[in-house]
Structure 1
Amino acid sequence: MKQIHSDIIQFRGSHYDYGRHQGELLKGSLLLPNRRKQWPPSNKNFMINEQEATSILQTFAPRIWEEINGLADALEWNAHDAIREFGGYYLEYTRSGCSIFTREDFMVRNYDSSPQGYEGRFALYQPSDGGYATIGPTMQITGRTDGLNEKGLAMGYNFINRRNSGDGFICNMIGRLILENCADADEAVALLEELPHRRSFSYVLLDRNGKSIVVEASPRSVVSRESAVSTNHFDLLTEENRYQIEDSRRREEVILSQQDTMAEPYSAFRMLNDSDKGVFSKKYTTASGTLHTASYFPASLKVGFALGQDRLPLMLDFKKWLDGERLNAKRVKGRVDTHLPFAHMTEM
């Protein structure tokens, strides 16, 4: 078992200042040097059209654009490198697994991916220059793997396919845009229909009204359906699925067969986080091992978060934080059964 952690980052202020703050924190981190070793600028899959990316960011994410500028200034990077690293547009990232279950009053989500790409950052951000306050784990610094906003909208996503990609935002930036800009599931669906999508992903939404929607989004089409369970295949846009979706359907069936016993959130958390229940994954070498389990409560604005298997969630009161209280916790600690290094903890 490898001991791991996620740093809890708390900030209130403008997006530019938030970017500068993150840049200062990243100066002493292993994360960016490790990422450059994994994905050097010469890698053709990471090349971007700077002018195109700038235009699309300024159109759909002008506040995130300010955040990127703050990161660039703090790190003393040029615009091209900052957009490439933090822009969440037209980039290549590893595939992932993931399982999500919702009830009217909570969402529980396993984030499955590779340890080598995990950032170990859990962010609470309350902007002063527009956009909703958010809480959740980061990806590509500016993006989010899942999360909750001040309006009680929870979001998580599931990887579907890399094939037949298009020009557009990748999943983590889309997650951030949903949380910062949408008050409920209907607004999120409308945004997902408007945004350009790089890859095929399902976006699971749960709002304060108890509305649970799965949006199937590809570069070619965006459709939505009501559902309480989502894994790694489309039910409507089946032509976009991978050839092998057996494990995705297996996890879906495990959750569906147990959903009547998961009426309360702790039992649902245990179903996804316990290593003997059939949903938690240890497939870290294929970029589909469970790294964290998160639970989101739209009405109370509480969040539960755990790293690794068979853990009790650390409970965080986002509402109290929004009211001005500062969290005392600085890190979430856990254990993961893998020999692979984590990008924020070990020099690669």
Structure 2
Amino acid sequence: MRQVVSDVIQFRGSHDDFGRFQGKELQDSPILKARRRQLKSRSKHHYIVDEEKIRPIIQYFSPGIWNELLGLADALELSTEEALREFGGYYFEYGKSGCSILTGNQFMIRNYDNDPITYEGRYVLYAPTDGGYATIGPSMQITGRTDGLNEKGLAMGYNFINRLRSDDGFVCNMIGRLVLENCATVDEAIELLKEIPHRHSFSYSLVDATGKTLVVEASSNEVVTREGTICTNHFEKLTKENRYRMDDSLRRYEAMVDQQANIDNVYDAFRILNDADKGVFSKNYGAWAGTIHTAAYLPVHMQAWISFGHDRLPLIFDFKKWLAGADINAKQIKGKLESTNGFINR
């Protein structure tokens, strides 16, 4: 059993100032050292960046995030090219993660599955003052998000499908950030997801404050939508993009289908994904497929829940109060995972 800790990060201000703030926080953090070791362990062709090509693309979708990257570069004394490679979210490679999502008209519950050694342990609340919606959720690659909720009540989470037949484009965590910071509704998110260039194949589950919920199946070649409240690691429409081995994805999918009728409230839904005996929570950390966090997002009530490890009560954040100016008292979120690896922030 490994004790893990995620730091709660709160910031209100411009993207450039946010980048500088994060850069200063990262200067003495183990996160950058760990990320650079991971970069060296993989083929360099995974990290090709062309500043002249990428800059106008990022600026088109989010000038603010481009300024955040520049702020990070300045604070960490990196070149723009180095900052893009580390934090730009345009070419970065990831392992074969799992993940499961269950939605209703008032919630999204999400298991983020991966190896803890890839997890930054940063839970971020950010309210930009220079454009874009305020967001709450765990970070990935510093600037990206694994899942989250924004001030308009849009919740988003994604599931890995395949990285074969990849192309130039943004990866999942930056796409998640772009959706949360730019879209107020499911319909707006769909339009953005159809326009964004996708590096790999992922499903994006969406729920908004009106109760609308939908799944977007996105690959580098095609983006389609489907009705549905359950999502694991296979496409239902773009089936040619699916991996050969889908046994575990189908098993978790059926486990949620079988238990969905027993849901009377959000907490019931949370337990289906977080309890070890329900068949969805995974302890397969060595294969990049163990459940690191179980998160819940409640668009109407503007709450975000999170826990690390199985059979745990969630820590509940009142995002509505934070948006009104009240800071979160919690500085850390603690948990335990049945893994030999901890997060890279410690």
Please indicate, yes or no, whether the TM-score normalized by the shorter chain is above 0.5.
yes
Code of the aligned partner of 2:12: R
Tell me the residue number matched to 1:265: 266
Q: Is the 8 A contact 2:58 2:66 kept in 1?
A: yes
* Cα distance per residue 1:262-313 (max 9 Å; x no partner): 2311111111011111100011111110000000000010111101111100
Code of the aligned partner of 1:288: A
Spell out the pairing of 1:202-217 with structure 2 (5 A cutoff): 202-217=203-218
Quick one: distance in 2 between partners of 1:58 and 1:217? 22
Q: Which runs of 5+ in 2 are unaligned?
A: none
Q: State the secondary structure of the residue aligned to 2:264.
A: coil
The total of aligned residue pairs comes to: 345
Code of the aligned partner of 1:232: N
Code of the aligned partner of 2:324: D
Tell me the residue number matched to 1:28: 28
Q: State the secondary structure of the residue aligned to 1:219.
A: coil
Tell me the residue number matched to 1:52: 53
C-alpha deviation, 1:42, in angstroms: 6.9
Q: State the secondary structure of the residue aligned to 2:276.
A: coil
* Cα distance per residue 1:192-212 (max 9 Å; x no partner): 000000000000000011111
Tell me the residue number matched to 2:232: 231
Tell me the residue number matched to 2:293: 292
* Cα distance per residue 1:36-88 (max 9 Å; x no partner): 01212973212222221222112222110000001011101111100111100
Pairing 1:256–2:263 present: no
* Cα distance per residue 1:2-39 (max 9 Å; x no partner): 00010000000000000000001101100001110121
Q: Is the 8 A contact 1:103 1:263 kept in 2?
A: no
Quick one: distance in 2 between partners of 1:51 and 1:14? 24
Q: State the secondary structure of the residue aligned to 2:131.
A: coil
Q: Structure 1 vs Structure 2: percent identity of aligned residues?
A: 58
Q: Is the 8 A contact 2:4 2:342 kept in 1?
A: no
Q: State the secondary structure of the residue aligned to 2:243.
A: coil
Pairing 1:3–2:3 present: yes
C-alpha deviation, 1:95, in angstroms: 2.2
Q: State the secondary structure of the residue aligned to 1:94.
A: coil
* Cα distance per residue 1:175-232 (max 9 Å; x no partner): 0000000000000000000000000000000001111110000000000011110000
Quick one: distance in 2 between partners of 1:167 and 1:183? 27
Q: State the secondary structure of the residue aligned to 1:251.
A: helix
Quick one: distance in 1 between partners of 2:243 and 2:7? 34
Quick one: distance in 2 between partners of 1:42 and 1:26? 25
C-alpha deviation, 1:341, in angstroms: 3.7
Q: Is the 8 A contact 2:5 2:343 kept in 1?
A: no
Q: Is the 8 A contact 2:3 2:342 kept in 1?
A: no
TM-score normalised by structure 2 residue count = 0.98
Tell me the residue number matched to 1:281: 282
Q: Which runs of 5+ in 1 are unaligned?
A: none
4+ aligned runs moved over 3 Å, structure 1: none
TM-score normalised by structure 1 residue count = 0.98
Tell me the residue number matched to 1:13: 13
Spell out the pairing of 1:132-151 with structure 2 (5 A cutoff): 132-151=133-152
Code of the aligned partner of 2:281: F
Pairing 1:219–2:224 present: no
Q: Is the 8 A contact 1:159 1:200 kept in 2?
A: yes
Tell me the residue number matched to 1:110: 111
Q: State the secondary structure of the residue aligned to 1:84.
A: helix
Code of the aligned partner of 1:333: K
Q: Is the 8 A contact 1:48 1:91 kept in 2?
A: no
Spell out the pairing of 1:34-113 with structure 2 (5 A cutoff): 34-40=34-40, 43-113=44-114
C-alpha deviation, 1:243, in angstroms: 0.4
Q: State the secondary structure of the residue aligned to 2:277.
A: coil
Q: Is the 8 A contact 2:2 2:338 kept in 1?
A: yes
Q: Is the 8 A contact 1:292 1:305 kept in 2?
A: yes
